[in-house]
Structure formats: C-alpha cells, structure tokens
C-alpha cells in the first residue's frame, strides 16, 4: 500500500472516529458494530500494509485520539461517577462514605452526575482505589466550567497516559529484542482509542504505571519497579494478581521487600480516607461486584447453565466464592512451575494469568481486555488482538433497556477467542518443539566434532 493510499485510509479513519464519537449511541448496536469494524479494517491496513514511517503512524494514533477530544463518552457512563468522586474529595467529603443516590445536594449540579451515572452506579459505594480518587480530582477541578470541560481534561490525562505507555513499551521491546512496530498493535488499535481515550476508562493510566514498572523490573531496578506497580494497583486493583509471578525472578528476600513496598505505598495512599466505614463500604462493593453482577462472561456462563440444569437456580453466589480459589490455584501454577526467571516467559505468564482470570470472571467489561492486549505486544500470542475486536459484540446488550445480553453473540465472541487461543497454544508448542530439535542437532554436531 503506497503512502498516498495509507493517508487516504487515515483520513477515512478520522471520519469514522468522528462519526463514532459524535453521532453514535450504544443503544444503536448496528452503528457501533459497523463503525468499529470499519475502524478495525483501517487499523489492519495501516499496520500490515502501510509503508509510512513509524513516527508518522504514531502521529496518526495521536490524531485519532484528538478527534475524540470534545466528545461525551457514548459507550459508558462511568465517567459521571469519576467526576462525582473527584468533586466529593475536593469539597472535603470522603467519597468512600457517600452514596450518590439521594445526596445530589452535596455539590453543585450533583443531580446531573447522579442521573448520568445511572441508578445502579448511584446506589453503590465507590470501589475505586485511592490514587484513582486523586486522579479524579483533576477533571473535577474544572467541573464548574461545564461537563464538557471536565471530560476534555480527563481525556487529556488519559491520552498522556497512552504516550507514557508508548514510551516505556518501546524500551521493553528493545530489551526483549522485538520489533518496535509491535507497539502499534496497542497504540493505534481502535479498541484502545475508543475504550480508553474515548470512553475515559482509567485502565489507560493503570497500564502506563504497569508499563513503567515492568520496564524497571526487567532492568533489575526493583525498588522503583515496586513503587510504580504500587501506583498501578492504586489505580486499579487488578495488577496485584501479577505479584506472585515475580517471585522466581526476585528470590524470597527481594520478593518480600518488593511486596512490602507495594503494601506500604498503598496504605499511605489510603490514609486520607481511612476509617472503619471505608473498609466496610469498599469491601461490600467488591463483594457485590463478584457475587451479583454478570456481563459478557465466558466459562462462568457455562457453569451457570450447568447450575440451572442441576439446581434449578442461578448459582452466582456459590460460583463467586469458588472462583477465587480456582484463580489462586492457577496463579500458583504459573508462579512456581514456570521458568519466570526468563524475561519473555515472565511476561507470557502474566498474560496467561490475567486471561484465565477474565475467562473465569462473571463480569468482563470491554475495557478489561486492555491489559491482555498490552501484554500480548511483548509475546507471540495473538488471541488478545482478536478479542479486542470481538469484544464489541458485548455492546449488543445495550439495545435493551434492561441490558439483556444476546447469548448467541456472546457465544460467538468466545468461540472465536478460544479458537484463536487454541491456535496460539498449538503454534507455541510447535515452535518450542522446533527449538528443542535445533538444540539437539547443535549438541549432536558439537559432540561429533569433539569425537573426531
């Protein structure tokens, strides 16, 4: 594809991003799916067939994000809760202690945010960690200037987060001696642009911390790595799942120091909010999340159906209690029975652990896939890339007022994802077998030379 054709594709993508951001609602699944598919085709054309230099494609990725700058998120209403929490903190109210529902008088135009976040979100205590709460105050500072101003500021912080991720990812690719262009699978992916920069999910900021932490870990600067991982965990709790995987690389003494730094920093972050009610409210929200909510699940839905057949009712409470033990078992296997001293193996282990976690989860919102996609950039595993496209099928649930999922589409999503995963496993097994044969041949030649 010539540079002229590439520029035409970029122009068409700009138009598609504009139409997606400013003319589409999540209730219109046909438009969401159509524009998203067109953007993904454009992404593949630019990545696979473009002869533009690397910097020009990076510039295109920034341009795509800037097109969304003034758009109100159209696929998620979570940002209303972010602004509510940020405003509560600015006004001296502990966001962990206040239910938005029936408390609109606590802030100017509070009812606007409560209505925007929806009754389900407004009726639960916040479950966002403390560094996330501090980050919410940045757009909240501008809320009096209007909600568009706040979302613009919020979006700028997340675009800058993507730039930080880009910076450290390139350094990680250099360490692993991989092609730098692989970061384009993340940076110009429509999924990342729409879900993080567009829909304003803080996974983008969390991944920026995670990328920096992983880089310094690979450089054996463990103290700095642990502080950055603590930041990632204090944005979103999920990176905590990676900690045991670092054990083999660190050894027992360094591992204990590494983990202690993470715990200490997170305790410090929690200090401005700390009291008994915070712990009760925070844990109740997390428990509620794991034992009541269901969305875009895979293996969980299969187990749920088995429960209907055998017990005659939804076993979400039972499954919600058992699944953490299954995840803990898998985490143990990946942490202690793999050669995680090897840099590439370590990242692959991280990818498999987070993927298994989501396969067992009862809730898999589209933006969750950002972590597997990010980690896959440093591996030969491709299924997260396909998942970043297929996850758009989950938005079919919003065509109904009561968010009724289309199980045929959910099934199709995971059928293809698990199919791609199987191909990855087969390809990696074949590649490992080939490497072992080459090693044996080299050893045989070496022994023959010695004998002669």
**pLDDT single digits (tens) 401-421:** 777 899 999 999 999 999 999
Q: State the average pLDDT over residues 52-56.
A: 93
Cα dihedral 202, 208, 210, 212, rounded to 10, equals -160
Tokens of 55: 């910097």
CA atoms of 68 and 22, how far apart (whole Å)? 8
Q: Is residue 410 part of a domain?
A: no
Q: Is residue 243 part of a domain?
A: yes
Q: Is residue 428 part of a domain?
A: no
Q: What pTM does this model have? A: 0.91
Tokens of 442: 């080299």
pLDDT for res 320: 63
Measured CA distances, 377 to 169, 170, 183, 257, 435 (Å): 9, 10, 6, 29, 22
Q: DSSP string covering 263-331, please?
A: HHHHHHHHGGG-SHHHHHHHHHHHHHHHHH--BS-SHHHHHHHHHHHHHSS--HHHHHHHHHHHHHHHH
Above 70 in pLDDT, residue 432?
no
Residue 194 DSSP code? I
CA atoms of 371 and 82, how far apart (whole Å)? 21
Q: Is residue 328 part of a domain?
A: no
Q: DSSP string covering 292-309, please?
A: H--BS-SHHHHHHHHHHH
Q: How confident is the model at residue 446 (pLDDT cuts 50, 70, 90)?
A: low
Q: Is residue 379 part of a domain?
A: no
Q: Is residue 432 part of a domain?
A: no
Q: Is residue 130 part of a domain?
A: yes
Domain of 206? 75-151+201-286
pLDDT for res 104: 74
Q: Is residue 62 part of a domain?
A: no
Residue 374 DSSP code? H
Number of structural domains, the chain? 1
């Amino acid at each position: 594809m010539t540079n002229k054709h590439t520029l035409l594709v970029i122009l068409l993508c700009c138009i598609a991003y504009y139409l997606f951001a400013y003319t589409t609602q999540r209730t219109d699944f046909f438009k969401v799916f159509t524009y998203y598919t067109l953007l993904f085709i454009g992404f593949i054309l630019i990545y696979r067939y473009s002869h533009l230099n690397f910097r020009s494609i990076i510039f295109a990725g920034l341009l795509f994000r800037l097109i969304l700058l003034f758009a109100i998120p159209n696929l998620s209403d979570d940002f209303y809760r972010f602004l509510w929490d940020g405003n509560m903190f600015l006004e001296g109210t502990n966001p962990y202690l206040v239910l938005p529902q029936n408390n609109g008088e606590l802030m100017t135009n509070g009812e606007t945010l409560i209505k925007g976040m929806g009754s389900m979100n407004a009726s639960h205590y916040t479950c966002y960690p403390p560094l996330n709460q501090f980050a919410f105050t940045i757009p909240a500072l501008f809320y009096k200037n209007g909600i568009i101003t706040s979302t613009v500021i919020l979006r700028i912080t997340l675009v800058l987060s993507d730039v930080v991720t880009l910076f450290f990812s390139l350094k990680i690719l250099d360490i692993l001696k991989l092609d730098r262009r692989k970061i384009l699978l993340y940076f110009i992916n429509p999924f990342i642009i729409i879900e993080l920069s567009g829909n304003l999910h803080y996974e983008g900021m969390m991944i920026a911390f995670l990328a920096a932490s992983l880089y310094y870990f690979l450089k054996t600067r463990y103290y700095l790595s642990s502080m950055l991982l603590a930041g990632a965990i204090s944005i979103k709790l999920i990176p905590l799942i990676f900690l045991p995987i670092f054990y083999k690389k660190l050894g027992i003494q360094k591992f204990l120091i590494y983990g202690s730094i993470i715990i200490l920093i997170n305790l410090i972050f929690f200090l401005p909010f700390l009291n008994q009610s915070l712990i009760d409210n925070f844990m109740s929200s997390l428990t509620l999340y794991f034992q009541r909510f269901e969305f875009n699940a895979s293996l969980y839905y299969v187990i749920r159906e088995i429960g209907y057949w055998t017990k005659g009712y939804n076993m979400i409470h039972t499954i919600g209690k058992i699944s953490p033990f299954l995840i803990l078992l898998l985490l143990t296997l990946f942490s202690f029975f793999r050669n995680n001293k090897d840099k590439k193996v370590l990242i692959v282990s991280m990818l498999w652990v987070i993927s298994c976690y989501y396969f067992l989860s009862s809730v898999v919102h589209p933006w969750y896939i950002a972590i597997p996609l990010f980690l896959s950039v440093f591996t030969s595993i491709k299924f997260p890339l396909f998942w970043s496209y297929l996850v758009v099928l989950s938005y079919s649930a919003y065509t109904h007022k009561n968010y009724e999922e289309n199980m045929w589409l959910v099934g199709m999503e995971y059928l293809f994802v698990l199919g791609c995963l199987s191909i990855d496993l087969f390809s990696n097994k074949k590649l490992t077998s080939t490497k072992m044969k080459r090693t044996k041949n080299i050893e045989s030649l070496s022994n023959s030379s010695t004998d002669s």
